[in-house]
Amino acid sequence: MSQARGQNNEAWIELSAIVGPEHLRPATPADAVDAVQPSGVIAPGSAQEVAQVLRYCNSAGLAIIPRGGGSQLGLGNRPRKADFVLSLERLNRVIEHAWGDMTVTVEAGCTIDRLQCVLREHGQQLGADPMQPERATVGGVLATAESGTMRIRYGALRDLVLGLEMALPDGSVIKAGGKVVKNVAGYDLTKLAIGSLGTLGVITRAVFRLHPIRAAIGTYAATLPTVSAAAKLVLAILDSPLVYTGLQIHARRADQVLVHVRFEGIPESLQDQFVKLGRIAGAHEFAECGGEVWTERQKLFVNAASSVICKCSVLPSQIGSLCDALFRQAEPAEVAVTLLAQGTGLTEVRLDAAGLQPLMIALRALRGEVDRLEGTLTVAQCPIAMKGDLDVWGTVKDALPLMHRIKQKFDPGQTLNPGRFVGGI
Amino acid sequence: MNARLVNEFRSIVGDAGLVSGAEQLRTYECDGLTLFRVVPELVLLPASTQEIQAIVKVCHRERIPIVARGSGTGLSGGALPVKGGVVIGVSRMNRILEVDVSNARVVVEPGVTNSAITAAVSPHGYFYAPDPSSQVVCTVAGNVAENSGGAHCFKYGVTTTYVLGLEVVLSDGSLLSLGGKGLDQLGYDLVGAFVGSEGTFGIITKITLRVIKKPETTQTLMAAFNSSSEAGAAVSGVIASGMFPAAMEIMDRLALEAAEAAVHPNYPNCQALLLVELDGSACEVELLMEKVGPICQSCGAWELRLAKSEAERMAVWKGRKAAFAAVGRISPNYLVQDGVIPRTALPRILGEIDRLSSEAGLRVANVFHAGDGNLHPLVLYDRRIAGQEEGAMKLAEDILRLCVEAGGSITGEHGIGEEKKQFMPVMFSEADLDAMQRLRSAFDPYDLCNPTKMFPGTDAKVQRPVAYEPHPIEIAGLAQRY
């Protein structure tokens, strides 16, 4: 469809009428998702407008790609169709920081940085550190379930969300959960929405429970000679009563492996925890280092257009064998590996090589190893040329028919992100 | 139920797994909420997942409603039988299948009790965090169905945070595995959707849980106040100081009297008692606890008592956890409510509850999880006095409306069940409820699993209890009631 024709057709007229012509613009190549080019970008100004846009597109058979900051647009399979990008950029307000209740109500298009900045005024924080916080939005991190390194102490985003407001393809705006920290009234639709990649509805607002920012934060690093020694140390820390708020392995080489630990609390307890950490680590010496090591995950995605980046989930006790296998297979294949394994078992791996063929071989080997461990692997980023032959999600087991039934109930017209999620959803 | 079907069920579960005698069935006519009763057609106590599947397939074929039941300690009538339906009790499936210490995971059958989880991992230095007051009796499957909480949710979260995997039987008899031992399984978070679905999605046959490392130290402080509002102000003070306590609980005069009469925890003799529990590294807990006392005193605390030993700490909690049942000592009947309010609304709402209580001429005992604003007003009444039960129900309803108006919820941990289903429209719009129904119909298109619960508009044909009816063995002179 040419742009000139596109802008005069019925869809443009209808959609302009909903959001106002100044909030509907032609899409550029930068708006493409996995090289699928949408015709326009629409930016509604309220949840009701989002719902009206969805209802119209649903009835007209048009496909919608919801977008926050666009920092995770590479996630998912190539969409079957993309007519309009629905940008949440105008829904960017922090509605209410009820600091006495330790909760916040915020619109989906607000960036994580801005939210944290508002919360900091009262010494509080959202206990999550997703990648690219200056770009990533509340709605985007929820749709992609991108929690970060604090998850090991504060829980995943699913555990921090108290309520959501969502616009559905039938034009309704629904509320799930509530504003209070304990609430079991009705089904927990928030869980269904979080991590659903916008395939059931568009999140327009969220309520989070918050945590206090502690007086002191310290990050400590040790260098270990093998991945298995590092993995063993991580297991020992997990089995201790240490109150860490971050725990990760970072390695580019099999013989030089970093273990990072973060403590938060009052200054006296930081020192106490550091001494106890030393006892657990034995011969491996920890030293204080800068907190920027917790952004290493996000650095994986820098200049990554020709790289493969995978998010793997294995058990903590399997981190050693996963990392071992990675380096063992990578060397002969001439693939460079960077890995970041969180103590939770969630591991990000970046593979770099000259050409697609060795990357594909390394990815297959990695997937084979993860399958052997009964874990999961999602390709979060890969060269566009690879996407055609690859299901980035891998195989969902016996629950897939139920997932299709749920999709059918919420988005029968397949208006939202068609084909990008698991099993063709 | 016709003999052919009874025999078919008998062939699945055997004699030991079938309850069909009229008197035995009455054991299952209600759960912890005794206000509503329905005698089931049949109670089945399967011993395996295969037996559950076989039962459900028969129910599916015959379109017989199914109600799953754990230990029957629920407080909202979630396990109340459905007219014409069968009850499937999971209490015989009570094995712990796997304890994986290095990954802090436990895999259990549905009938394992909450306390048994902690008992299994305690030797390794771990514990299972959700701790409903009924924890020594209630089953994990019941906890999962209700998304149970407890006293330590403020810091540790509720059941849903700890459930990683579920094996379930859907209403057509199919067996499905959701989630797993690892985090972030592919696709929709169906485990998250299932937890708290109150038995309306299917029957849980296996559960994978996360356990956590015991903190180095736990300290519990009791602070005595002249009013619940003062105690509530102290809670806000502790939060404002940037601390994140493991638990903060308030009990008022009536609740204290009841607990004292039942289990003698030796609480200070006061109008309102605040419990503050801090846990974590010994160094930090000791330094922070020194600050909690003065915060409480600045809000009017006139006695502070730190539990000196683990035994003393246990006694403090025993009194708190016994409070509901203990109220039976000071009132012949009572209703337990479970409303939630934003914590900062606490003083205002407590005042409102006082006002409603005196207007209705009924006493209200208050026990609450102050940290997370979860109130448990206990409305005391005497069923034998005409009109009191209706008055108590009206008062309980008024309290729930107050909670919703304050931006809260009608239930923090007990569930909707039969009890509060008519209140769902107070909290949720038609569109919200419709979205829930869509999810329900994806799991259970036949509407066979706990069909009359959770949503308004379905008449469960419940019976209300009448005056005491003697048991047949009493009438026969074989037993006597004291």
pLDDT tier at A330 (50, 70, 90 boundaries)? confident
B478 is a domain residue: no
B246 in the same domain as B194? no
What pLDDT does residue B313 have?
93
Nearest Cβ partner of B439 from A179, A187, A425? A187
What pLDDT does residue A388 have?
81
| pLDDT digits 0-9 by tens, B285-294 | 999 999 999 9
| pLDDT digits 0-9 by tens, A124-151 | 999 999 999 999 999 999 999 999 999 9
Residue of B nearest to A76 (CA): B187
Summarize the confidence of residues A246-265 as an average pLDDT: 96
The per-residue pLDDT of chain B, averaged, comes to 93
Chain A residues with CB inside 8 Å of B372's CB?
Answer: 180-182
Contact A175 B432 (CB under 8 A): yes
Q: Does B249 touch chain A (CB under 8 A)?
A: no
pLDDT tier at A395 (50, 70, 90 boundaries)? confident
Residue of A nearest to B419 (CA): A185
Q: Does B286 touch chain A (CB under 8 A)?
A: no
Nearest Cβ partner of A184 from B101, B170, B411? B411
Contact B102 A102 (CB under 8 A): no
Is residue B482 scored above 70 in pLDDT? Answer: no
> According to CATH, where is 3.30.43.10 located in chain A?
3-89
pLDDT tier at B467 (50, 70, 90 boundaries)? low
Q: Are A31 and A38 in contact (CB under 8 A)?
A: yes
Does this complex have an ipTM over 0.90? Answer: yes
Contact B160 A179 (CB under 8 A): no
Compute the nearest-CA separation of B420 from chain A (Å): 9
Return the DSSP state at A149.
Answer: T
What crossing angle do the helices spanning A47-60 and A10-19 adopt, rounded to 10°? Answer: 170
Q: Which of A40-49, B103-112, B250-259 comes out lowest in average pLDDT?
A: B250-259
Residue (of A385, A393, A382, A381) closest to A420 by Cα position: A393
Q: Which architecture does CATH list for A3-89? A: 2-Layer Sandwich (3.30)
Helix, coil or strand: residue A419: coil
CATH code 3.30.930.10 for A94-212 = no
Hey, which of B60-64, B232-236, B262-266 has the most confident mean pLDDT?
B60-64
HEC profile for chain B? Answer: CCHHHHHHHHHHHCHHHEECCHHHHHHHCCCCCCCCECCCCEEECCCCHHHHHHHHHHHHHHCCCEEEECCCCCCCCCCCCCCCCEEEECCCCCCEEEEEHHHCEEEECCCCEHHHHHHHHHHHCEECCCCCCCCCCCEHHHHHHHCCCCCCHHHHCCHHHCEEEEEEECCCCCEEEEECCCCCCCCCCHHHHHCCCCCCCCEEEEEEEECEECCCEEEEEEEEECCHHHHHHHHHHHHHCCCCCCEEEEEEHHHHHHHHHHHCCCCCCCCEEEEEEEEECHHHHHHHHHHHHHHHHHCCCCEEEECCCHHHHHHHHHHHHCHHHHHHHCCCEEEECCCECCHHHHHHHHHHHHHHHHHHCCCEEEEEEHHHCEEEEEEEECCCCCCHHHHHHHHHHHHHHHHHHCCCECCCCCCCCCCCHHHHHHHCCHHHHHHHHHHHHHHCCCCCECCCCCCCCCCCCCECCCCCCCCHHHHCCCCCCC
Q: Does A161 touch chain B (CB under 8 A)?
A: no
Nearest Cβ partner of A195 from B189, B236, B440? B189
Task: Please state the domain count of chain B.
Answer: 4
B58 is a domain residue: yes
Is residue B479 scored above 80 in pLDDT? Answer: no
Is residue A272 scored above 80 in pLDDT? Answer: yes
> According to CATH, where is 3.30.465.10 located in chain A?
94-212
Contact B432 A186 (CB under 8 A): yes
pLDDT tier at B324 (50, 70, 90 boundaries)? confident
Chain B residues with CB inside 8 Å of A376's CB?
Answer: 182, 184-186
Tokens read off for A133: 């916080």
Neighbour order of strands in the sheet with B364-369: B303-306, B217-225, B272-280, B247-252, B364-369, B374-381, B333-336
Q: Does B98 touch chain A (CB under 8 A)?
A: no
Is residue A4 scored above 60 in pLDDT? Answer: no
Residue of B nearest to A194 (CA): B189
Which residue, B187, B213, B239, sits at the end of a domain?
B213
CATH topology of domain A300-387: Alpha-Beta Plaits (3.30.70)
Q: Scan residues 383-422 of A and list those with Cβ closer than 8 Å to B.
A: 393-400, 402-403, 405-406, 408-410, 421-422
Contact A345 B288 (CB under 8 A): no
- CATH number of the CATH domain containing B283: 3.30.70.2190
Contact B102 A316 (CB under 8 A): yes
pLDDT tier at B85 (50, 70, 90 boundaries)? very high
CATH, range A216-296? 3.30.70.3450
Contact A159 B160 (CB under 8 A): yes
Compute the nearest-CA separation of B86 from chain A (Å): 24
- CATH number of the CATH domain containing B344: 3.30.70.2740
| pLDDT digits 0-9 by tens, B297-316 | 999 999 999 998 999 999 99
Contact A212 B104 (CB under 8 A): no
| pLDDT digits 0-9 by tens, B357-386 | 999 999 999 998 998 899 999 999 999 999
Print the domain residue range for B377. Answer: 331-416
B286 is a domain residue: yes
Nearest Cβ partner of A188 from B186, B196, B440? B196
Q: Could you identify the residue written with the tokens 């999709």?
A: A407
Residue of B nearest to A171 (CA): B431
Contact B435 A238 (CB under 8 A): no
Is residue A256 scored above 80 in pLDDT? Answer: yes
What pLDDT does residue A273 have?
96
B221 in the same domain as B209? no
Q: Which of A62-71, A256-265, A291-300, A330-339 comes out lowest in average pLDDT?
A: A330-339
Which residue, B325, B359, B387, sits at the end of a domain?
B325
Residue of B nearest to A181 (CA): B372
Is residue A3 scored above 60 in pLDDT? Answer: no
Is residue A420 scored above 90 in pLDDT? Answer: yes
Contact A315 B105 (CB under 8 A): yes
Residue of A nearest to B426 (CA): A185
B365 in the same domain as B309? no
Q: Does B74 touch chain A (CB under 8 A)?
A: no
Q: Scan residues 101-120 of A and list those with Cβ closer than 8 Å to B.
A: 101-103
B245 in the same domain as B282? yes
Residue of A nearest to B412 (CA): A183
Which residue, B42, B69, B89, sits at the end of a domain?
B89
Is residue A5 scored above 50 in pLDDT? Answer: no
B83 in the same domain as B12? yes
B320 is a domain residue: yes
Return the DSSP state at A186.
Answer: S
Q: Does A280 touch chain B (CB under 8 A)?
A: no
Contact A422 B187 (CB under 8 A): yes
Nearest Cβ partner of A187 from B196, B236, B429? B196
Q: Scan residues 285-314 of A and list those with Cβ closer than 8 Å to B.
A: 311, 313-314
What pLDDT does residue B457 have?
82
What pLDDT does residue B460 have?
66
B14 is a domain residue: yes
Compute the nearest-CA separation of A161 from chain B (Å): 11
Contact B281 A408 (CB under 8 A): no
Q: What is the pTM of this model?
A: 0.95
B197 is a domain residue: yes
B422 is a domain residue: no
Contact B408 A181 (CB under 8 A): no
Q: Scan residues 212-231 of A and list those with Cβ closer than 8 Å to B.
A: 212-215
Nearest Cβ partner of B242 from A123, A243, A410? A123
B313 in the same domain as B221? yes
Contact A396 B439 (CB under 8 A): no
B34 in the same domain as B72? yes
CB pairs under 8 A between A and B: 263
pLDDT tier at B469 (50, 70, 90 boundaries)? low
B335 in the same domain as B318? no
CA distance B35 to B463: 8
Contact B284 A243 (CB under 8 A): yes
Residue of B nearest to A174 (CA): B432
The per-residue pLDDT of chain A, averaged, comes to 95
Q: Which of B168, B183, B349, B434 should be substituted to probe chain A, the one whose Cβ sees the most A Cβ atoms within 10 Å?
A: B183
Q: Are A185 and A176 in contact (CB under 8 A)?
A: no
B101 in the same domain as B202? yes
Contact B188 A403 (CB under 8 A): yes
Compute the nearest-CA separation of B391 from chain A (Å): 24
Chain A residues with CB inside 8 Å of B407's CB?
Answer: 178-180
